[in-house]
């Protein structure tokens, strides 16, 4: 992707399947991904392999195996490709899905945190026009801070265990922070009273997070600090962030990530601070803005009441190509017949070619509004 290449990121491609141990060690045995969502199989040599469910651990493995720590640091990488998770298919979530992601390895500078967040915002907002975009950020501190906090949180959850569903109770000892992600109303109510990790950061981590926020402020990037943001993978440390779009409803996540300063070392490499993000391409497409209500639209239909307006209609059809799916009616056919054709095609909008301009008709409400030029019509489907 050009915006990432221009920012100094280089493309990396990792295998579609990896040794299962890479994900159990890297992602974390207590995570939903490892416990419930991985497609794992045994090959003819008896080795356990897994279709990659996420991109960070494979990139870290490649960083170690190919000696990238010997290159000038930090190393900036980006990837794109299919990933796999065994979860219930729903709008924007599939068992095979496409992710775009970046990883920056070899620096703990807060400026790198701000850089990757700004890049993801650029990809989602400026490049993809994702609507109703919101950024949430937080900090998880170091592994030691998390460990101390986890013990405190376990004690809190045990006292309120009778208010929690079985799945949350089962994870109190293994991964109590996951309770913040539960969609269960009872759990959400309990967690409003829970102690927060953000209030227990050591001075160095608090200073790091303050500098990240200051840099985002300097760049004019709006965000909200969310102490309940924990992300779903065990390797995260310090800065975590998530972009959501209210246009997606309850499943609002579009992309996010965070620091993983211990992961490379955990996988057998040298101590290497790092940060990255991943964004779901299918979810970006669902949340992307365009024509009015384009997510509900079938093709735009061009109605041509008179044969002599054929050229005018063809020029409009050509200019709309690439902006929206577009079909053109038969010039000279009755308007009634063309409207029936538009209905059969499932058109959400019909553009009627008039002698001195165009009429844009909402096929659901029946409302029409005049547009004076083809350029104005095209702009209506690019907003």
Asked if 49 and 21 sit in the same domain, the reply is yes
Final residue of a structural domain among 240, 265, 287: 287
Predicted pLDDT at 292: 43
Among 261, 287, 313, the domain-final residue is 287
Domain CATH for 64: 3.30.930.10
CATH code for the domain of 353: 3.40.50.800
Q: Which pLDDT does position 32 carry in this prediction? A: 66
**Model pLDDT, residue 296:** 44
Domain boundary among 232, 254, 287: 287
Per-residue tokens: 298: 């079938």
Tokens of 357: 């301009």
Q: What percent of the chain has pLDDT over 90?
A: 39
Query: Does the residue 209 lie in any domain?
Result: yes
Q: How far apart are CA 289 and CA 240, in angstroms?
A: 26
* Nearest residue to 380 via CA among 289, 248, 247: 289
Residue at 178 is within a domain = no
Residues 111 and 217 in one domain: yes
Q: With CA atoms as reference, report the closest residue to 329 among 353, 348, 296.
A: 353
Per-residue pLDDT at 348 exceeds 90: no
Are both 243 and 328 inside the same structural domain? no
The more confident residue out of 232 and 348 is 348
Q: Which two tokens stand for residue 133?
A: 């975009």
Residue 182 lies in a domain: no
Residue 151 lies in a domain: no
Higher pLDDT, 301 or 78: 78
pTM: 0.72
Residue 194 is assigned to a structural domain of this protein: no
Query: Average of pLDDT values for 21-40?
Result: 78
* One domain, residues 374 and 274: no
Query: Same structural domain for residues 319 and 280?
Result: no
Q: What is the pLDDT of residue 70?
A: 93
Question: Structurally, how many domains does the chain consist of?
Answer: 2
Domain assignment of residue 132, given as a range? 2-141+201-287
SS3 state of residue 26:
helix
295 vs 64 pLDDT, higher one? 64
Nearest Cα residue to 313 out of 328, 298, 299, 326: 328
Rg (CA), the chain: 25
pLDDT tens profile 181-196: 777 888 888 888 888 8
- The arithmetic mean of pLDDT across residues 91-118, rounded, is 90
How far the first Cα of the chain sits from its last, in Å, is 22
pLDDT in tens, 250-287: 668 899 999 999 999 999 999 999 999 999 998 888 88
Distances 164 to 144, 180, 181, 194, 239 between C-alpha atoms, Å: 27, 12, 13, 13, 28
């Amino acid at each position: 992707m050009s915006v990432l290449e221009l920012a100094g990121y280089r493309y990396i491609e990792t295998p579609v399947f990896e040794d299962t141990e890479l994900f159990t060690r890297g992602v974390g045995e207590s995570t939903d991904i490892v416990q419930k969502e991985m497609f794992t199989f045994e090959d003819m040599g008896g080795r356990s392999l897994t279709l990659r469910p996420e991109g960070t651990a494979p990139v870290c493995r490649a960083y170690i195996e190919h000696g990238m720590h010997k290159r000038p640091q930090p190393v900036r990488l980006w990837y794109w490709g299919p990933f796999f998770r065994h979860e219930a298919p729903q709008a924007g979530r599939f068992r095979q899905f496409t992710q775009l992601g970046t990883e920056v390895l070899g620096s703990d500078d807060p400026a790198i945190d701000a850089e990757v967040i700004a890049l993801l915002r650029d990809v989602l907002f400026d490049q993809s026009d994702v609507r109703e975009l919101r950024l949430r950020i937080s900090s998880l501190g170091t592994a030691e801070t998390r460990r101390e906090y986890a013990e405190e949180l376990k004690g809190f959850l045990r006292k309120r265990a009778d208010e929690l569903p079985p799945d949350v109770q089962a994870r109190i000892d293994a991964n109590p922070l996951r309770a913040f992600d539960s969609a269960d109303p009872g759990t959400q109510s309990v967690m409003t009273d829970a102690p927060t990790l953000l209030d227990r950061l050591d001075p160095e981590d608090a200073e790091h997070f303050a500098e990240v926020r200051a840099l985002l402020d300097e760049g004019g990037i709006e965000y909200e600090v969310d102490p309940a943001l924990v992300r779903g993978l065990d390797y995260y440390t310090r800065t975590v962030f998530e972009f959501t779009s209210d246009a997606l409803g309850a499943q609002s996540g579009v992309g996010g990530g965070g620091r993983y300063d211990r992961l490379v070392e955990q996988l057998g490499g040298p101590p290497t601070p790092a940060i990255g993000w991943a964004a779901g391409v299918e979810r970006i497409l669902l949340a992307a803005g365009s024509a009015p209500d384009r997510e509900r639209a079938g093709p735009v239909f061009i109605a041509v009441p008179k044969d002599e307006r054929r050229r005018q209609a063809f020029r409009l059809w050509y200019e709309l190509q690439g902006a929206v799916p577009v079909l053109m009616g038969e010039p000279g056919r009755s308007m009634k017949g063309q409207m029936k054709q538009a209905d059969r095609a499932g058109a959400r909008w019909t553009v009627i070619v008039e002698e001195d301009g165009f009429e844009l008709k909402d096929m659901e409400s029946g409302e029409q509004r005049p547009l004076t030029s083809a350029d104005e019509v095209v702009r209506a489907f690019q907003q």
